[in-house]
Amino acid sequence: MKIAFSPCPNDTFIFYAWVHGLIPGAPELDVTYADIDVTNYLATRPDGPDVLKVSCAALPWVLRDYALLPCGGALGKGCGPLILTKEAMEPEFLAGKRVAVPSDRSTAYLLFRLWVSRHVPQGVGEIRVMPFHRIMPAVQAGEVDAGLVIHEARFTYPSYGLHMLVDLGEWWERDTGLPIPLGAIIARRHLDREAIAGWIRASVRHAWTHPEEPMEYVLRHAQEMDAEVAKAHINLYVNEFSANLGRDGYGAIRTLLTRAAEEGLVPSWDASSLEE
């Protein structure tokens, strides 16, 4: 079975057991490790993988061919994207400025645009898409005026001498009372999605039961990340929603995509296609 997910610690932690043949009855995986911006577009191709990790924001483009799975993704509280600047600034600083983002089909980007529409009515300037690990160095070097960052950047941005302009996750939670719907696992609609979800849940449970076992694999793919940072990343992003989206998980995804569609940020979509 072909699968694509990011090399980030939460994904490699979740899929470790399945990748290593530790889930009885699960097929062998042919894994593509790719940045979320790559997997978002892989899902739009006719020859895209059987199973993928994508941003929740990318779902309106892919739900015709893929179905959302109820587990394996990344949702939560206190784990949202940040807008960083070189100096401490107020929101109006962003008017007309260059902003680096990790993907234009990411939840981070949708949250950013929704927040900007309320707090920077003049609008930002140039948007530059770049791999997320390049964003903080770009802000530090002055290549861009601000950066939208995700994942472990929450823990490491002070080491670059950067300042947080806003925590978009905190804003989202305060505004909606819902978790932040960051990443989703999708599978081709013709596949046995119940079986795939079962294999993913078994892989998550194995990692939770043996948390040190996946760490060599996690760190091998984590782009020289410190082990303690990787563990903090896992503890933040691998949570109850990784095992089951539940009512709040589905509600968060629906709310995000409905608001984004109203702003013209994503195509119109059929909420029933989420198949809760």
Q: Which domains does the chain have, with CATH numbers?
A: 2-77+180-263 (3.40.190.10), 82-176 (3.40.190.10)
Task: Retrieve residue 193's tokens.
Answer: 């999605």
Q: pLDDT, tens digit, for every residue of 199-233?
A: 999 999 999 999 999 999 999 998 767 888 889 88
Q: Is 72 left (phi over 0), alpha (psi -120 to 50) or beta?
A: left
- How far the first Cα of the chain sits from its last, in Å, is 24
CA 238 to chain centre: 12
Question: What are the DSSP calls for 139-152, one per residue?
Answer: HHHTSSSEEEE-TT
Describe the crossing of helices 227-237 and 9-19 by its angle, rounded to 10 degrees: 80
Q: Which of 14, 3, 4 is nearest to 217 (CA)?
A: 14
- Catalytic annotation, residues: 151
Dihedral in degrees, nearest 10, Cα atoms 120, 251, 181, 85: 20
CB atoms within 10 A of CB 234: 24
pLDDT score, position 78: 83
233: Cβ contacts below 8 Å, ≥ 6 apart: 8, 9, 10, 151, 152, 155, 225
Q: How many helices (H) and strands (E) are present in the chain, helices listed first?
A: 12, 11
Say which DSSP state 57 is in: G
pTM for the structure as a whole: 0.87
Binding region for substrate:
53-55, 107-108
CB contact at 8 A, 60 and 261? yes
Residue whose tokens read 């979320």: 36
pLDDT score, position 276: 53
Averaged pLDDT in 10-residue chunks for the chain of 276 residues: 95 98 98 90 94 95 95 89 95 96 87 94 93 92 95 84 95 94 95 97 98 96 82 90 95 95 90 75
Distance from C-alpha of 30 to C-alpha of 3, rounded to nearest angstrom: 6
pLDDT score, position 110: 94
Residue whose tokens read 């929740």: 56
